[in-house]
Structure 1
Amino acid sequence: MMNKAEKTRQFIIEKTAPLFNTNGVAGTAVSDIMAATKMARGSLYVHFQNIDELVNCVVDYNLKMFVERTTAVSDQHESAKNKFFALLDYLSDPLNPPVQGGCPMMNFGMEADDTNPVIREKVNEVVCGVQQAMENIIQKGINDGEFQKEWDAGEFATKSYAMIEGGILISRVSRDISKMKMLVRLLKEEINEHSI
């Protein structure tokens, strides 16, 4: 059970998470944070030592929400094929992403790659974790006899992740999800080709 201070801290994180994920770290001003939380600047600093601490918490929160929501969708299914298909379907509309503002790995990763090694490492850990989770699904399917034994689960997971992130970028920039739909179809076709 959280005490009042912990609840307020969590409230600030949850209210500002979409701001940072949409506008970026550099594009989010203290005045934006104050407007979103309806709190004075001094009140914010009661709960966070500085903006960097808040940013780190918000990045963690956005990444965690993305992973939890995508995992929950995949976990609704038993077979590896259905797990992966559900994941692809869930991510197939980048204009309506699992986390407000878009993919936090892409958003924070691109902004932090040259500017913030702490955030870059947080994003890298999640990127590696997501790819490992995808590989585990394919490996489960191989072990369960759903997929061909010679299929390289790690290679497919890396390719899938890269295609999904690329599709997210194309879709969000063009405001058109047709290319993402095509990429999802191609990934599903490859999964079907390796199915037994």
Structure 2
Amino acid sequence: MCVCERERERVGERREMVWGGRQRAVASVLPYLVKNLRNEPPKISNQTLPSLRRTFSLYDQINLIDSVPDDQLRFQGYTDTGFTINRVNYEGSLLIVENKIMSWTPKRISEITTDSLSIFQVLRPVPEILILGCGRNIEPINPELRRFIRSTGMKLEAVDSRNAASTYNILNEEGRMVAAALLPYGVSS
């Protein structure tokens, strides 16, 4: 027998030992696995998949394009000096109540007073939330003003004007009673 043949024979024996050993190991474990899988009911996990956490959604009802019903307002853009609502540009501060746009006198956060929001004392039904757009940055709200807004029955959400406009769009499209008081985005303390 030549050296090549002996080497091939040894390699073949090694393969047989390795594969034969693996097959025997699998064959000895397989009945145990099958038996356990048949006897145990599947374990139920209490964790939900991230994509299934929310079982309902209003996303199919929210307009992500620009077509909105004629009776609804939608912010479409903003500049440092004003806002674009339903394809119309408005300059300065705005007060939006019941899908009506009004010019609003405050030019900075310190000028927002109970008098500038006095419409909410007589307005019925009272919106459930007032979104206050503070300009470029979120500013602390005067405690007296907070108390006044709470006394009308509204909740207050004070954010920068860009996020205030987006939040207004979402809540309005959901059919919520929402009001917005917005300073232009270019305003800073």
TM range (shorter): under 0.3
TM-score, length-normalised on structure 1?
0.25
In terms of fraction of residues, the more helix-rich structure is: 1
TM-score, length-normalised on structure 2?
0.25
In terms of fraction of residues, the more strand-rich structure is: 2
Structure 1 or 2, whichever has the larger Rg, is: 2
